[in-house]
Amino acid sequence: MTSTDAPSIPLTRVPARPVRVGLVAGGLGAYWPQFPELLPQLEASAREVSRRLGGIGAHVTDVGFISDAQEAAKAGERLRVAGCDIVVVFMTTYMTATMVLPIAQRTGVPVLFINLQPTEAMDHPAMTTGTWLAYCGACPLPEVANALHRSGIEFRSVSGYLADERAWGKITGWVKAAGVRASLRESRHGLMGHLYPGMLDVSTDLTMVSAHFGGHMEVVELDDLRVRVAAVTDRQRADKLAQAHEIFEIADSVVTEDLEWAATVACGLDAMVADFDLHSLAYYHRGLDGELHERLGAGLILGASLLTARGIPAVGEYELRTSLAMLIMDRLGGGGSFTELQALNFRDNVVEMGHDGPGHLAISDRRPLLRGLGVYHGKRGWGVSVEFTVATGPVTLLGVGQRRDGKYVLVASEGTVVDGPVLAIGNTTSRVDFGCHPGDWTDTWSASGVGHHWALGTGHRVAELRCLAELLEMELVVVQP
């Protein structure tokens, strides 16, 4: 089964704020009286760029065409007030650096310079000075880059022609990355419970999360969940059970009382996430001898998987940095499921990976299964667990590692999920072919500093992650032996 055959999950996703793109086009005003036909041509090209940006799904604030430094300053101020996530400067022809530096300085957000000439190449015999100038957007790029570097501002550009899908793919990547960056900066990340004993790599400084990604850290208590679970009504429980039966195949091993408890906890979890306005959640509680908090921790898998499929990643083992990676992959459109290494298959040349507990249902290759487990390996408690295989096709792994100096690093690798036998023990599982010896890949991946867990999402997304890493001013390590 391919990713296009993946089941439709009847869940309402959290509404995503469209990325806010500021657009300004420009050229040197000295040209207009010299070449009267030039400005109308360039303005028509600018309208086409505005249309294409809107087609990406962006909310575009188009401040029009500028011809000198004074107009640039006014445009920069309008874009600052608009609260853009990224500003696109369309270099339709030559522009002086003084026409773009005020925009970059005043908006205070990433700026992408685009040089899209009218066609693939000039018709040289038919060219005049005026018609050639419409192809001259490349001319100022080195000048602008030099001025921005000397001003301490990052320079990035995409060059091509108006109908160049290669160039538009790159522009789309930058716009999507700016949207993810904005989502991270506006997100509220929940942390509930305590560290899984002994997992030093999972330990995360909450201040460093806000420092690297922005956003807010909300520490919630298991008791915040407890009181909401206690308030769940019979009608709410029945509705959640009906939803579970609609979405999942229910294995014979599922005990009715365990499924009812999981549905009750899922209702309480929904209420807690709504009350605290959370966009992600990492949790773990060890518990003891079947007491209530242990039962709450053991009953979270169903509700956490449903939240993840709605775009609110929820992960076990207190894996905060992995919930962030899952949020990134989800916002890029790749889902993103909680993942770790399971085993190496040297016969089939694949790496088997997955995890017990919550998974991203939208990237399953079939109707996901709820399996009853009498024991959660390495954890206290029992109940229902989610099981599925990620749809075959291209996938990307993304983890958030941390260096000795405290800096975060994004770690990614692209592979392909292939068919074959998988575990039937209540895990999400993938057989990933990385195009190399599975042992070599595993050694290189482990040495990257990625940590115990990561997000697995559909599609090859390293190009988009490169854009995001630059906007976040973080290192991206790509593992591809």
Q: What is the pLDDT of residues 99-148, one digit of tens each?
A: 999 999 999 999 999 999 999 999 999 999 999 999 999 999 999 999 99
Q: Can you name the CATH fold of 20-180?
A: Rossmann fold (3.40.50)
Tokens of 224: 């915040």
Q: What percent of the chain has pLDDT over 90?
A: 81
User: What mean pLDDT comes out for the span 178-202?
Assistant: 92
Coil, strand or helix: which one is 3?
helix
User: What mean pLDDT comes out for the span 145-158?
Assistant: 97
Q: Tell me how far apart the alpha carbons of residues 78 and 436 are, in angstroms, rounded to a whole number.
A: 51
Coil, strand or helix: which one is 98?
helix
Specify the DSSP element, H or E, that contains 465.
Answer: helix 462-472
Please give the pLDDT value at position 390.
87
User: What mean pLDDT comes out for the span 209-236?
Assistant: 96
Q: What is the pLDDT of residues 457-467, one digit of tens each?
A: 999 999 999 99
Whether 1 has a pLDDT exceeding 60, the answer reads: no
Please give the pLDDT value at position 375.
66
Confidence at 185, pLDDT banded by 50, 70, 90: very high
What is the bridge-based pairing of β-strands 59-66 and 20-26?
A: parallel
Q: What is the pLDDT of residues 3-40, one digit of tens each?
A: 334 455 667 888 888 999 999 999 999 999 999 999 99
In the chain, residues under CATH classification 3.40.50.10940 are: 20-180
Whether 221 has a pLDDT exceeding 50, the answer reads: yes
Whether 231 has a pLDDT exceeding 60, the answer reads: yes
Which is higher by pLDDT, 256 or 387?
Answer: 256
CA distances from 71 to 33, 200, 425, 426 (A): 18, 54, 64, 61
Which is higher by pLDDT, 427 or 267?
Answer: 267
Q: What angle do CA 298, 398, 407 make, to 5 degrees?
A: 100
Please give the pLDDT value at position 170.
97
Give the list of residues 6+ apart from residue 426 with CB closer than 8 angstroms, or none.
356, 371, 373, 384, 385, 386, 387
Please give the pLDDT value at position 22.
98
Please give the pLDDT value at position 188.
97
Give the distance, in angstroms, between the CA of residue 101 and the centroid of all CA atoms in the same chain. 30
Whether 408 has a pLDDT exceeding 70, the answer reads: yes
Please give the pLDDT value at position 5.
41
Please give the pLDDT value at position 344.
96
Least confident of 75-89, 318-332, 365-379: 365-379
Give the distance, in angstroms, between the CA of residue 234 and the centroid of all CA atoms in the same chain. 36
Which is higher by pLDDT, 200 or 115?
Answer: 115
Whether 177 has a pLDDT exceeding 70, the answer reads: yes
Please give the pLDDT value at position 275.
98
Task: Please provide the average confidence, as pLDDT, over all residues in the chain.
Answer: 93
Sign of CA dihedral 396, 398, 404, 406: positive
Strand partners, 283: 192
Q: What percent of the chain has pLDDT over 70?
A: 96
Least confident of 48-57, 116-125, 309-318, 354-363: 354-363
* pTM for this entry: 0.92
Architecture of domain 187-478: Alpha-Beta Barrel (3.20)
Please give the pLDDT value at position 6.
44
Q: What is the pLDDT of residues 262-300, one digit of tens each?
A: 999 999 999 999 999 999 999 999 888 889 999 999 899
Whether 347 has a pLDDT exceeding 90, the answer reads: yes
Q: What is residue 100's DSSP assignment?
A: T
User: What mean pLDDT comes out for the span 228-255?
Assistant: 95
In the chain, residues under CATH classification 3.20.14 are: 187-478
Please give the pLDDT value at position 3.
37
Coil, strand or helix: which one is 127?
coil
Q: What is the pLDDT of residues 353-380, one digit of tens each?
A: 988 767 788 888 888 989 987 666 566 6
Whether 259 has a pLDDT exceeding 50, the answer reads: yes
Which is higher by pLDDT, 16 or 149?
Answer: 149
